[in-house]
Amino acid sequence: MPVELSPLGADRFDGWREDVKQRLIARSRESGMRAGDDAIDFAEAFLRDLLPQGPATSSAGLFVLVENSQELGALWLADSGGKLFLVDLGLSVDLDARQREELFSTIRRIAVQHEARLISVALFPQDAQAHALIAGRGFAVASIQMLLEPLPERRVAPHVVVSPMTAERFRRFAEHSEASYAEDLVAAGRYTADEAVIESRRQMRLELPEGIDTPGQELFTASVDGAEVGVLWLGLRRRDGRPHAFILDIEVAQDQRRRGYGRELMHAAEREARRMGAESIGLHVFGFNTGAIDLYESLGYRRVEETFLLNL
């Protein structure tokens, strides 16, 4: 008998939900993405937001994996905006290659039935079972969350001057950053062009409601011999109750690339993060930006979460 999906009974929902919560907490902490109570807060908010009506949430598909009357685990799928999200896979046994093939074929069939154009899954490095499920099936890395901790003591080259961005420069920066981020969302395969414009604008307004004067946000320009070579945007956040810096935007001017300025801007980000009182620094990078990924990893940043997409 093949691996089959059976709906999770409402009487089992509370126990299943607690299992998912504990799995999220453990993997968040193991990866370093979140630490301490942050992992608990994230797991609770995640489940509350994605399952507002509990087992009756219309976008959620909650299943038990069964083979020959034996339960193998549980699967959570969510359907939204033309995408099928593989939200959680909790297995009580390790699936063999045949079982993974049968399970994935069923997930793909569900995606087609829902007229989804993409299958999306966000995984921590420790999600060995889900990684095995999607391996070799055409998924591409769409985006990566990275972390560096503790902050190193690295110097910015003296000829690269990094200083606070002016209000005049900010107006041009905000327009360019919003448009560029929308283009990246499309290039990463995560949004259509119209969706990307809306999402980019939403995030810009969320992060900078007061523009350049928004508390906890610091923006810089980098120059060499008086000529601008790049920009940097840092946001101050909290991680396990301690200050944590996040690189929201970093860009070297098109005509100034391949001169080492990206590395100097990263050194500047770490310097400014220390000045802001942060003990760690994080960033997000799109999977297609392999040059940036190589730079970050050469500086010691490690992957703490990756989002994979399969275009159907």
Dump pLDDT digits (tens) for 131-180: 999 999 999 999 999 999 999 999 999 999 999 999 999 999 999 999 99
Can you give the pLDDT at residue 223?
Answer: 97
CA angle 175, 141, 25 (to 5 degrees): 95
279's tokens: 């003990």
DSSP H or E segment with residue 232: strand 227-239
What pTM was estimated for this model as a whole?
Answer: 0.94
Same domain, 169 and 258: yes
Instruction: Report yes or no: 297 and 147 within 8 Å, Cβ to Cβ.
Output: no
CB contact at 8 A, 296 and 286: no
pLDDT for residue 254: 94
- Do 114 and 165 lie in one domain? The reply is no
Statement to judge: residues 117 and 209 lie in one domain: no
Residues 109, 224: one domain? no
Same domain, 93 and 205: no
pLDDT digits (tens, 9 = 90+) for 274-307: 999 999 999 999 999 999 999 999 999 999 999 9
pLDDT for 190: 80
Same domain, 100 and 14: yes
Q: Are residues 122 and 190 in the same domain?
A: no
Which pLDDT tens digit goes with each residue over 68-80?
999 999 999 999 9
pLDDT in tens, 14-53: 999 999 999 999 999 999 999 889 999 999 999 999 999 9
**Domain limits at 122?**
4-137
Whether 130 and 253 map to the same domain: the answer is no
CATH number assigned to the domain comprising residue 211? 3.40.630.30
Give tens-digit pLDDT for 11-23. 999 999 999 999 9
208 & 265 share domain: yes
Nearest to 286 by CA among 263, 252, 254, 309: 309
| Residue 273 falls inside a structural domain | yes
